[in-house]
Structure 1
Amino acid sequence: MTRLMHVKHGPYAPPVPARELTALSADGARLHVEVHGPDGAPAVVLVHGWTCSTAFWAAQLRDLAADHRVIAYDQRGHGRSPASETCGVDALADDLEAVLAATLAPGEKAVLAGHSMGGMTLMAASARPGFREHTAAALLCSTGSSRLVAESLVVPMRPGRARTWLTRKVLGSRAPLGPVTPIARRILKYGTMGAGSAPDMVEACARIVHACPTRVRYAWSHVLDSLDLDHGVRELTVPTAVVVGTCDRLTPPVHARALAAALPDCVGLTELPGIGHMSPVEAPELVTKRIRELSAAHLTSTQGELEEAGA
């Protein structure tokens, strides 16, 4: 659905995975999982955000799969993962644990990168045994742990009850998004991307977001509205980097700075000038570079220890 986009390094098309599988979550929810790159390579797990899909990570999948085993999955109800009656932070954590168990060997560790609701997934799972068994380091990208509606800048009004009420109505709308039209692109760009975003990037993000079923978008909007994962941030004890665009209206930099201050082992806060909420698409090289840095710093030794233990 995003195969019409072109970017600096060639056609934007999510690469064909080396293999695909279905992971079963704790409540029986089926999750579409893709594995890219060579077997035995250091592992990276990519977790997309609200209304997106694995296609959102196309640039990272293409780059990292050259020398990493890259695992991406569709959150329940998104992409090729069927919708479920259950929506909530516990379901997000259950799903991530299921994917890690289905794709990583016992004791094998990976770098986990989560964008927006994907970052919230990492926070929700941070105290889970499966998360701690398999996570060497983490990247929280364009995300927040609480007060999402109150801090949002999508509605251009002064902070207060009126802005919070209107933001809640906008983000929690039941209205179908319909086809991707010029007006739809302008709205999406305003709300989720920086002013300098190229038209092909806007087109790709619009096609991904518009493909999300209305009832799924609506159901998860209520989860995000009441989200409070501040406790999950404090449990995220692995080395964790934070990335945010300075023009992010959905999860503005105030969230990233709060995360960096609260994380037990923050290894850097990167603010990307002029970039909006869709940072992995808007600034793919910079986001991929941060993932690579985490892999180089935290995966080589853990993978070596795993191999020695199995020898």
Structure 2
Amino acid sequence: MTIRRFRRGDHETVITETGIDGGPTYVLVHGVGMGHRTWSDLAETLARSGRVLALDLPGFGDAPEPEESLDMASSGAYLGELVAAESPGEPVVLVGHSMGTQIVAETAAQRPELVAAVVLIAPTINRRERTAAMQALRLVQDLAFSHLKVLALGIRYYFQAGPRWYFAKLADMLAHRIELVLPRIRARTLVIRGEHDQVAPRDWAELVTTLLPDGRLVEVAGRGHETMITAGAEVARLVAAHAAGEPVGHPVAQPVPTGRRQRPDTRPRAKANANTNTNADVPWWRTAGWWAADYLYAGWRHLAAPFDRRDARHWQRGDAALPEVVLLPGIYEHWTFLRPLAERLHRAGHRVRVVHGLGANRRAIAETAELLGRALARRPAPPAGRVIVGHSKGGLVGKQLLVDELQRADATGSTPGAELGLLGVVAISTPFGGSSRARFFFADRSLLALLPGDATIHALGEAREVDARIVSVFGRWDPHIPDGSELPGARNIEVPVAGHFRVLGAPETARAVLHGITGLAAREGARVADTPEAGDASEDAAAAAP
């Protein structure tokens, strides 16, 4: 082992070199608040087949803190100078973890001649959680499942760096847009994430992989964000195989952008590919305020439910030439959560029915869809058809019903949707890809069923043939669905409202839902409401139960 220093201006990096000559040169770049010791097991394994340079970046580990922090792009340029000095004429394998992936990506994009291959372990920052508050929450959540070795190293390095430097680098991370850099990386790139990584969720890792011109993804079972610490030897074997040109992991196909993402009352615009980020540059105190407001709204709705005796049967009257709307609440939601939306839809002329009698809505998604299908079948299908409008889990139940109908149609040779007159589903704040936050509720099986790895969530995700009959409506920030509610192949509409529950009471949501119903009805040739006028009325309505 040899230790030396690389210096440019007042920025100094400590390089710990191990390994042998004759193999690849691996440059290991740690995450925020860490240092070269986080690579110990991985470096030891890689050192048997090549040369390993484990870094302590300026201000971390054994490296002194400079006066000013370099942003990620400048850090990438700095790393490029270090690589050129340490490995002249020989391209290296750049391996970054967390913050290190942002620096490594910049170097690979800026100096492609220096790089033979790239490995991004737990890439940051998830575009939907680009705030200090959300990153802190995700890190705490991840640490809850961490090994003691991870905690010990984290505490040691945090106190070495100190809070000032740690938060300075965190600010640089939050300001950086790795998704804009990834398409410029020409080198073969392997993305590695731990199965339980809360900081780099699966959907984000898949997006990172799709943005790479030559990217592959592999997941390490049973590990979290610090997977190179807890599974160092295993990750090292993946890195070495990738460096040798072996096809590690699998490519991730870019979804076909058949859906549109748009704001209501505006002209449709093409769905953003890489740089859509509704939470960009939002300060932590604002997301904390959104979170508090969302739970206050939900709490108020729960407290008011037992006292809400207002008759909802009048919602069943309306224009028979317009599609009937069936409102479906989410898990642990009383049907009165949907009252504001019901009022607005009814004023637009729709006959509205609200599904109640499900209790806490804790049954399995497939079972609930079967119950809903039987309830709808007891009434003749309206000539203008039906649209299910579901919130949260309700949207998943709606999609399951579409899948069930399609399967029955395939078996009988009938037209999908004909039996129930179902035109499609408008889903509000629905976790189509699951919600990793369901892990917090480990004692509640009904919530654990919403985890991204759940069999039903996976099966619904694979059932893409019904997505064209779905409109997904969601707010700019959702504390329950950190990975978002966008559904490739569906029509996606974002409303300028923050929250998971509060979005139900917003006039913008009602207008978006009406736009969605309009699109689904037009797709089937049904008559639709005049949605701009209905949106101006703002107070439209909902209905009793099927």
Relative to the length of structure 1, the TM-score reads 0.72
Q: Secondary structure at the match of 1:127?
A: helix
**RMSD of the alignment, in Å?**
2.3
**In structure 1, what is the equivalent of residue 114 of structure 2?**
134
Indicate yes or no: 2:261 matched with 1:278. no
Q: Distance in 1 between matches of 2:118 and 2:31?
A: 15
Indicate yes or no: 2:89 matched with 1:122. no
User: C-alpha offsets along residues 161-191 of structure 1, whole Å, 9 cap, x if unaligned?
Assistant: xxx57436x47xxxxxxxxxxxxxxx97x44
Q: Secondary structure at the match of 2:245?
A: helix
**In structure 2, what is the equivalent of residue 213 of structure 1?**
162
Amino acid paired to 2:134: T
Amino acid paired to 1:167: M
1:291 to partner: Cα distance: 0.8
Q: Distance in 2 between matches of 1:165 and 1:76?
A: 21
Indicate yes or no: 2:78 matched with 1:111. no
Q: 1:198 to 1:230 in 2, by over 3 A?
A: closer
**In structure 2, what is the equivalent of residue 20 of structure 1?**
3
**In structure 1, what is the equivalent of residue 191 of structure 2?**
242
| Runs of 5+ consecutive residues of structure 2 not aligned to the other structure | 247-546
Indicate yes or no: 2:81 matched with 1:98. yes
Q: Distance in 2 between matches of 1:192 and 1:210?
A: 20
**In structure 1, what is the equivalent of residue 236 of structure 2?**
288
Q: Distance in 2 between matches of 1:103 and 1:194?
A: 38
Q: 1:166 to 1:90 in 2, by over 3 A?
A: closer
Q: Distance in 2 between matches of 1:260 and 1:116?
A: 15
Indicate yes or no: 2:167 matched with 1:167. no
Indicate yes or no: 2:66 matched with 1:81. no
Amino acid paired to 1:234: P
Q: Distance in 1 between matches of 2:83 and 2:26?
A: 10
Q: Secondary structure at the match of 2:161?
A: coil
1:148 to partner: Cα distance: 6.1
Q: Is the 8 A contact 2:124 2:200 kept in 1?
A: yes
Q: 1:282 to 1:98 in 2, by over 3 A?
A: same
| Runs of 5+ consecutive residues of structure 1 not aligned to the other structure | 1-16, 151-163, 172-186, 299-311
Q: Is the 8 A contact 1:126 1:233 kept in 2?
A: no
Q: 1:51 aligns with which of 12, 33, 36?
A: 33
Q: Is the 8 A contact 2:108 2:118 kept in 1?
A: no
Q: Is the 8 A contact 1:234 1:262 kept in 2?
A: yes
Amino acid paired to 1:282: T
Q: 2:200 aligns with which of 248, 251, 263?
A: 251
Q: Secondary structure at the match of 2:234?
A: helix
Q: Distance in 2 between matches of 1:142 and 1:89?
A: 16
Q: 1:135 to 1:148 in 2, by over 3 A?
A: farther
Q: Is the 8 A contact 1:45 1:70 kept in 2?
A: yes
**In structure 1, what is the equivalent of residue 129 of structure 2?**
149
Q: 1:134 to 1:63 in 2, by over 3 A?
A: same
Q: Is the 8 A contact 2:96 2:104 kept in 1?
A: yes
Q: Is the 8 A contact 2:27 2:93 kept in 1?
A: yes
Q: Is the 8 A contact 2:33 2:166 kept in 1?
A: yes
Question: Looking at CA atoms only, which structure, 1 or 2, has the larger radius of gyration?
Answer: 2
| Matches for 1:193-212 after TM superposition, within 5 Å | 193=143, 195=145, 197-212=146-161
1:145 to partner: Cα distance: 5.2
Task: State the structure with bigger RCO (CA 8 A, min sep 6), 1 or 2.
Answer: 1
User: C-alpha offsets along residues 259-292 of structure 1, whole Å, 9 cap, x if unaligned?
Assistant: 11110001x2112233211110122122111111
**In structure 1, what is the equivalent of residue 378 of structure 2?**
none
Amino acid paired to 1:78: F
**In structure 2, what is the equivalent of residue 161 of structure 1?**
none
Residue-pair matches, total: 245
Stretches (4+) displaced over 6 A: none
Percent of residue pairs identical: 25
Q: 1:104 to 1:194 in 2, by over 3 A?
A: farther
Q: Secondary structure at the match of 1:257?
A: helix
Q: Distance in 2 between matches of 1:235 and 1:75?
A: 24
Relative to the length of structure 2, the TM-score reads 0.42
1:242 to partner: Cα distance: 0.6
Q: 1:271 to 1:217 in 2, by over 3 A?
A: same
Q: 1:229 to 1:198 in 2, by over 3 A?
A: closer
